[in-house]
Structure 1
Amino acid sequence: MLLNIGDDKERHFLALQALLNPDDSRDDVLRKITQLAARMLKIPGSFISVLDDENQYVRAAINFRLETSSRVNSFCRYAVDSGNPFIVPDTLQDARFAAHPLTLSTPFIRFYAGVPLTTRDGIKLGTLCVVDTSPHMITKEQTDTLQLLGELAMSFLEAWHYAGLTDAITGLPNKLHLLRDIQLLATTNDIAERNLILIDCIDMPRAHELARTRGMAPVENLLRDMAIMLPLRLRPLRCGKLYMVATGRFALLTHVSDKISASVVASRLQGVSAELEPGFSVEFRVHTAGKTFIPGESSAREVLNKAVSALHDRIRQNILLLPESTWADEDAPSTPALMDELRQAIQGIIPGLYLVYQPKICLQSGLPVGVEALIRWRHPQKGELSPGMFVPVAEHAGLLPDLTSWVIASVITQLRGWHIAGLAIPVSVNVSIHDISASGFADSLEERMIRASLPTRLLGIECLETERIIESTAAIEGLEDLKLRGFPISLDDFGTGYSNISYLRRMPIDIIKLDRSLISRLSQDTGARIIARSIIAMLKELDYVVLAEGVENSQTGETLQKYGCDQAQGYLYARPLPAEEMSNWLELKLTSLK
């Protein structure tokens, strides 16, 4: 909407459309700004206007009874057209407005002062105004205050837009932005044939484990590097506009006449790798698929869904292809050897697999309300191997269901032990789309809990690969079966964009985990705080339990508590601990708070 959209006409159109669409959280903040303007200038009426070529639309009005008017009759057009503050101390003494319909009838404007709302690239969207039915004189100081408040409103709108239409990590336009761009083509009667090409670069279970074991910074840097590298690899081809439509998934919107296809993109990206940190490299497993369409013949979402379906077909066709791993040590075991050793570790033939647990804290009481189980592997020769190294091996070797089963069996054993010791603390496990989609998974899980004499509410299911789950009927049905049997469902790593909220109602979710990339910025970034507060408020309105990941300092914890966040998890409270240490920690914490 407000940043890097295209030419001026397109930017203006998208900006106006976004502001005219209803958004209660956005308008609540704008109303508070108009209240502040009226109070500081001691003028009873205030509103924010949005102007297009024909009309003026009133937003966030305080003591002002007008919803729309023609642009010709609007006072605000003078501020927008001039780009400067526009002040009329007494409309009856001004020849332009003495016989004006908005002066002589509702809303009976006698005094007007407005400042233009201008984006950082010069697009004027509307105004922030104060009005009254009596004349006033306004000082330069008051005019400056109104301008400052207008700049504050614009800064908020840009932060709101950034959350909704821009990927928070790469800065690229996001999935919602792509859908709006496709819709815009149809609106402007552009019927030139287009290609939508999707590019999957990163194996998401592996990326998830990398984030858990090495922190978000290396993974975020990897995504930023990919956003820069992709256009460079495609030179000198005209590759169109690049989007980030999901974590690790990019999209290109091109003209068919550009002669760039999914297969061309795939060939240009073969052999791409990146060094996350010294001694640890990742080779990308690239899949591409495309959909050719004529704007307006299908909806934007239908176009994207067909491209996604084609991409998933490509991924399934290559499911057993294992990319080479790059190891820090030349003496590291080969991948086939590691597969065999992992199989033996799962079967208990060789030791090494174990779980650690990280607590989840109630922000109101300070009490632990659950823990998350995380898998680790202490290799007999290589020492500690991160899940980012062995979980992808498990997936490609067909061992992921066995590994998930091992984790669940270990968690149920630990739950049973804690239950006997009087610690009825819920434990959540990370479950992939392969497990959730498997026939009978919920029945099997319920049977295991019944045999252990444990209620299903003590075993939480954390969903990974959300974009893939929402596009899979089998996965949605699997989640509904789990929910029906009483297993709490969490959505892991919820992104910062409001666009993500649209798919929540299709998933039977109890708990939303806010992404640590947003939480980590709360103590330094005003925009992040505005976004977090709005997201938490909306999620609470939808009756979700909200949990923040990656809380590392007390200031962030206090901010989240003030915003109404329910639970938190992070190093501020405890690092992931082995079972025995976790037991001691829980007992100490629960005893100290009694």
Structure 2
Amino acid sequence: MNNSAMYALNGLTILALRSPDICRDEVLTKFTDLVSETLNFPSSFIAILDDHYQYIKASHNFDLDGSVRSDSLCQYVADDVSPLIIPDTHADSCFASNPFVTGSPFIRFYAGVPLKNREGAFLGTLCVTDSVPRSFSADQLATLEKLSQLVISFLEAWHSAGFTDPVTGLPNRQQLIRNLHTLGKMEKSSSYRLILIDLIDIPRAYELARTLGMGPVEGLLRDMATLIPLRLRPGPDDLIYTVATGRFALLTQASTHFTAEWVATKLAGVSADMGEGLSVDLTTHAGEALFNPGKFPPHEVLRKAVSALHEAICQGVSYMSFSEKNDERRTDDFTLVNDLATAIRFNQGIYLVYQPKICLNTGLPIGLEALIRWRHPVRGELSPSVFIPLAEQTTLLQDLTEWVIDKTIERLKRLDSSPLQLPVTVNVSVRDFSQEGFADRLETKMINARLSPELLGIECLETERIIESAAAMAGLEMLKLRGFNISLDDFGTGYSNISYLRRMPLDVIKLDRSIINGLTTDTASRIITKSIISMLKELDYVVLAEGVENVETLDVLREFGCDQAQGFYHSRPLPEPELDEWLSWKIRR
């Protein structure tokens, strides 16, 4: 990256000043009013110059909006980056034929001083003019230069407020977008890499702020902004930005050693000081996008880097490069989430099916599990495994839970006092029952429907998340106190710890199908399953086996003391009309 490009990418720039900003330019106009009044000149203006044009950003009694650079008197100030005084343009052969001397605004006297940013790069001029020849004293020149310093101080403050992150002091997202614009105009032949670095997710930052206050969190963010350059050691041509809370960006040429993998490795295992002896371990994810400046709009370059970063986070890996294939999949996922929101809002395409639970002592249906299904208008029937994980990443999961609960209550209310009435369990996420007031709202719905809470069961997953969340444990306790039966799904997989289960207010434990699959063929599976059922029964849980598909497995489960079974051997999940027919048939038998 050459020096001119670096000047364009650092600090206050010509590109920033060329962009429209009504409030900024109103203040600059007041500066030109002050200049004319202080120096007693009829006209004054502030001009910004690039390689080809002069832009008049503010003026007092000066009838010109801009011009090509070669016609402007200010070009000579720009070339020498020093003041220029022309007492009489008619008497100077360099200026006598200038179009702005011979024509409007008929400049006869000119005095201009350079405006330079803190890196020393020339941005423009502060000038006074008159239509008659004049002298200009050393004191007047000193005053004009002091006024130019005030103008620069204001512009630097304006720039800092709009293009600098107030907490970390690093250039912000707006500055990054602007720099990408600049590269598109100056460095089209070079390849660049934009690396996004995520050290702390926003929800966690907000949780820390709620617990510790903003002071320690801002200290944490400043510590990150200091730690990153210390670990990465960027060169003078490598630029670091703060683009969001806990999220940073590195803009570098593609030829450097900086890659998402290298950055993630260098920042692995870091921690940040929260003050008072408290530190926080940070989890690093990095995503990168390679690009040629000018080929894609800056916002598209940033979007690609964000896409790569989110892919790394979702896959649980430390880094990821942008992939068109992954990006297309994410676009499809985004579209699907929007379609799901529409389906929920207008009650279109989504419906419930119910899988019976069978009592192993009597062989009769003893309950139902409500399961969501979606018939997409274009893609047809979609498995819950396709759309539920997407809903879990958004607030749609709560909307979906509310929809399932409402539809289940409608069924229970319809069959009130009917011989077909059976308790129904619904799947509820930790996020749902952790909400304050969830149990109260659920109880109110049942009371309004004149139904007993025992008819509606709550089925939950994610044991580890429940145990680690005080809100989740409190939510389960509130549900239990209000009379709702609580089941734990998929026991026997992942985080299945008996000692932890005793801390949870559970009624039913569902054995995962992976436990019972080998009951009829594998001795070890029989011993393990028998021991698990025996322990759970001694702990006073109702034990339900799911995924039962043959009578041999059913017989073994009955022998081991299992209470209930659910699976295709008895019935697949059924929509309501078929379910009611099936239940009537079972009752008649």
Question: How high is the TM-score relative to the length of structure 1?
Answer: 0.50
3-state SS in 1 of match to 2:71 = coil
The aligned amino acid for 1:232 is: L
Q: What secondary structure sits across from 1:257 in the alignment?
A: coil
Q: What corresponds to 1:219 in structure 2?
A: 217
2:87–2:136: 8 Å Cα contact kept in structure 1? yes
CA shift, 1:409, in A, is 7.8
Partner of residue 49 from structure 1, selected from 39, 47, 50: 47
1:274-289 counterparts in 2 under 5 A? 274-289=272-287
Q: Structure 2 CA distance, aligned partners of 1:134 and 1:239?
A: 48
Matched letter for residue 180 of structure 2: I
Instruction: Quickly say closer, same or farther: Cα 1:87–1:409, change in 2 above 3 A.
Output: farther
Give the corresponding residue for 2:77: 79
Return 5+ residue gaps in structure 2 as ranges.
318-427, 442-589
Separation of aligned partners in 2, 1:237 and 1:117: 28
1:302 to 300, 303, 310: 300
Q: Give the corresponding residue for 2:263.
A: 265
Q: Match for 1:266: what amino acid?
A: A
Give the structure 2 partner of residue 199 of structure 1: 197
> Following superposition, which runs of at least 4 residues in structure 1 exceed 6 angstroms of deviation?
236-239, 407-410
Match of 2:125 in 1: 127
Q: Does 1:162 align with 2:193?
A: no
Question: Match of 2:200, SS?
Answer: coil
> Is 1:8 aligned to residue 16 of structure 2?
no
Equivalent AA in structure 1 for residue 63 of structure 2? R
Structure 2 CA distance for aligned equivalents of residues 307 and 127 of structure 1: 38
Q: Residues 193 and 41 (structure 1 numbering): CA distance in 2 closer, same or farther, change over 3 Å?
A: closer
Count of paired positions? 330
Q: Deviations over 1:175-206 (max 9, x none)?
A: 22222333333323534443322111113223
- Is the 2:432–2:438 Cα contact (8 Å) retained in structure 1? no
Code of the residue aligned with 1:151 in structure 2: it is Q
Partner residue of 2:309?
A: 311
The alpha-carbon deviation at position 118 of structure 1 amounts to: 1.4
Aligned partner of 1:20 among 18, 21, 33: 18
Alignment of 1:62-101 (within 5 A): 62-101=60-99
CA contact (8 A) 1:85 1:116 kept: yes
Relative to structure 1, the CA distance from residue 222 to residue 46 in structure 2 (aligned partners, 3 Å threshold; closer, same or farther) is: same
Task: Give CA deviations for 1:444-472 in whole Å, capped at 9, x if unaligned.
Answer: xxxxxxxxxxxxxxxxxxxxxxxxxxxxx
Unaligned ranges ≥5, structure 1: 320-396, 411-594
Aligned-pair CA distance for 1:316:
3.2
- Name the CA distance, whole Å, in 1 between partners of 2:309 and 2:439: 31
Give the structure, 1 or 2, with the largest relative contact order (CA under 8 Å, sep 6 or more): 1
Cα distance change of structure 1 residues 64 and 265 upon mapping to structure 2, 3 Å threshold: same
Alignment correspondent of 2:37 = 39
Which runs of structure 2 are paired with 1:164-563 in the superposition (5 Å)?
164-234=162-232, 240-318=238-316, 399-406=430-437
Q: Distance in 2 between matches of 1:164 and 1:85?
A: 30
SS at match of 1:169: coil
1-side partners of 2:263 and 2:306: how far apart?
Answer: 16
After superposition, the C-alpha distances for 1:122-166 in whole angstroms (9 at most, x for unaligned) are: 212111111122333333333222111111111111122222332
Looking at structure 2, the residues matched to 239 and 70 of structure 1 have their Cα atoms a distance apart, in angstroms, of 31
**1:279 shift after superposition:** 3.2
Q: 1:137 aligns with which of 135, 138, 143?
A: 135
Deviation at 1:35, TM superposition (A): 0.8
CA distance in 1, matches of 2:116, 2:18: 16
Cα distance in 1, alignment partners of residues 263 and 152 from structure 2? 38
Q: Is the 8 Å Cα contact of residues 231 and 239 (structure 1) preserved in structure 2?
A: no
Given that residues 238 and 260 in structure 1 are in contact (C-alpha distance below 8 angstroms), is that contact kept between their aligned partners in structure 2?
Answer: no
Task: Report the CA distance between 1:246 and its aligned residue.
Answer: 1.0
In 2, the alpha carbon distance for the partners of 1:245 and 1:94 equals 52
**Maintained 8 Å contact 1:239/1:258:** no
Per the alignment, do residues 41 and 274 of structure 1 end up closer, same or farther by CA in structure 2, a change over 3 Å counting? same
CA distance in 2, matches of 1:235, 1:73: 45
Q: Name the SS for the 1:190 alignment partner.
A: coil
Deviation of 1:318 after TM superposition, in Å, equals 4.2
Cα deviation for residue 284 of structure 1 reads 0.9
Distance 2:264 2:123 in 1: 41
Query: Contact between 2:8 and 2:179, CA under 8 Å: does it hold in 1?
Result: no
* Cα contact 1:16–1:52 (8 A) shared by 2: yes
Alignment partner, residue 29 of structure 1: 27
Alpha-carbon deviation of 1:213?
Answer: 4.8
SS of residue in 1 equivalent to 2:263: helix
SS in 2 for 1:405: coil
Amino acid at match of 2:140: Q
Asked whether the 8 Å contact 2:7–2:119 carries over to 1, the reply is: no
Task: After TM superposition, give the deviation of residue 212 of structure 1 in Å.
Answer: 4.7
SS in 2 for 1:258: coil
Residue deviations 1:502-552, cap 9 Å, x none?
xxxxxxxxxxxxxxxxxxxxxxxxxxxxxxxxxxxxxxxxxxxxxxxxxxx
Q: Which amino acid aligns with 1:311?
A: L
Q: Distance in 2 between matches of 1:244 and 1:9?
A: 21
Q: 1:147 aligns with which of 137, 145, 148?
A: 145
Q: Cα gap change, 1:110/1:407 in structure 2, threshold over 3 Å: closer, same or farther?
A: farther
Shift of 1:243: 1.8
| Partner amino acid, structure 2, of 1:182 | L
Quick one: structure 1 residues 123 and 249, their matched pair in 2 at CA, closer, same or farther if it must change by over 3 Å? same
